[in-house]
A and B are shown apart, each in its own frame.
Chain A
Amino acid sequence: MGPYIVRRLTQAVFTVGGVLLITFLLFRVVAGDIAAAHLGPRATAQQRAEWMQKYGYDKPLIVNLNEPRAFWDAQLVHYFSRTLTFQNRSLITNDMLIQTVIERAPYSLAITVPAMALGWALAMVISTIVAYYRASLIDHVGVFLAVLGMCVPYLAFIIGGQWLMFQIKPTMAYGLANPLNIFVPVGIAVIAGLGYSVRFYRTVILDEANRDYVRTARAKGVPLPGVMFKHILRNCMLPILTNLILAIPFLIMGSLLLETFFGVPGLGDLLLSSINNRDEPIVSGLTFLTALIYVLGNLATDVSYALFDPRVQLS
Chain B
Amino acid sequence: MSVLEATHQIEETTIRPGRSLGQDAVRRLARDPMAVGCFAIIVLYAVIAVLAGFWWPDFQTSINYELRNQPPSWAHWFGTDVFGRDVFAKTMLGAKVSMTVGFMANAIAVPLGLMLGVLAGYYGKRIDDLVVWFYNTLASIPGIILLIAIKFAFQNVVLFRDTAFAIDLTGIHGLYVALGIMSWIGTCRLVRAETLKIKNLDYVTAARAAGAGHLRIMFRHIVPNLMHLAIINFTIGFVGAISAEVILSFLGLGVDVGTPSWGTMINAARMDLVVGRWWEVIAACGAMFLIVLALNIFGDRLRDALDPQLRI
A contacts, CB < 8 Å to B: 11, 14-15, 18-19, 21-23, 26-27, 30-33, 36-37, 147-148, 150-156, 159-160, 162-163, 166, 203, 249-250, 253, 256-257, 271-272, 275-276, 278, 283-284, 286-287, 290-291, 294-295, 298
Contact = CB atoms under 8 A, between A and B. Distances in A.
Interface in B244-301: 246-247, 250-253, 263, 266, 270, 273-274, 281, 285, 288-289, 292-293, 296-297
A253 B140 CA distance: 14
Interface stretch (B9-17, B54-62, B111-119, B151-159): B151-159
Contacts of B285: 152-153, 155-156, 159
Given A156-B289, A159-B273, A275-B253, A291 B246 contact: no
A155 B149 CA distance: 20
B203 interface: no
A304 to B, nearest CB: 18
B141 A19 contact: yes
B311 A203 contact: yes
Contact of A27 (B141, B153, B243): B153
B142 interface: yes
A250 B274 contact: no
Contacts of B123: none
Nearest to B251: A272
B142 A253 contact: yes
B152 A257 contact: no
A13 to B, nearest CB: 11
Interface stretch (B20-28, B129-137, B218-226): B129-137
B150 interface: yes
Contact of A32 (B134, B157, B293): B157
Q: Interface SS of chain A: helix, strand, loop or mixed?
A: helix
A250 B137 CA distance: 17
A54 to B, nearest CB: 21
A268 to B, nearest CB: 9
Given A19-B141, A27-B152, A256-B145, 6 more contacts: A11-B136, A19-B140, A23-B149, A163-B273, A166-B274, A275-B253
B40 interface: no
A18 B134 contact: yes
Nearest to B136: A15
Given A155-B250, A159-B266, A166-B274, A30 B138 contact: no
A217 B252 CA distance: 56
A166 B271 CA distance: 11
B153 A26 contact: yes
Nearest to B285: A156
A298 B139 CA distance: 11
Nearest to A292: B140
A22 B292 contact: no
A294 B141 CA distance: 7
A18 B133 contact: yes
B133 A151 contact: no
A283 B149 contact: yes
Contact of A271 (B145, B146, B263): B145
A274 to B, nearest CB: 9
B144 interface: yes
B274 A152 contact: no
A74 B38 CA distance: 55
A293 B153 CA distance: 22
Given A27-B153, A298-B140, A153 B292 contact: yes
Give the interface centre of A30, A31, A153, A250 by most chain B CB atoms within 10 Å. A153
B247 A257 contact: yes
Interface in B84-143: 133-134, 136-138, 140-142
A22 B133 CA distance: 12
Contacts of A250: 142
A44 B273 CA distance: 45
B292 A151 contact: yes
A31 B296 contact: no
Contacts of A37: 155-156
A109 to B, nearest CB: 16
B148 interface: yes
A78 to B, nearest CB: 18
A273 B227 CA distance: 43
A15 B133 contact: yes
Given A11-B136, A275-B253, A30 B157 contact: yes
A159 B142 contact: no
Given A23-B149, A275-B253, A291 B155 contact: no
B156 A147 contact: no
Contacts of B137: 14-15, 18-19, 21-22
B284 to A, nearest CB: 8
Given A23-B149, A148-B293, A32 B141 contact: no
Contact of B155 (A23, A32, A150, A153): A32
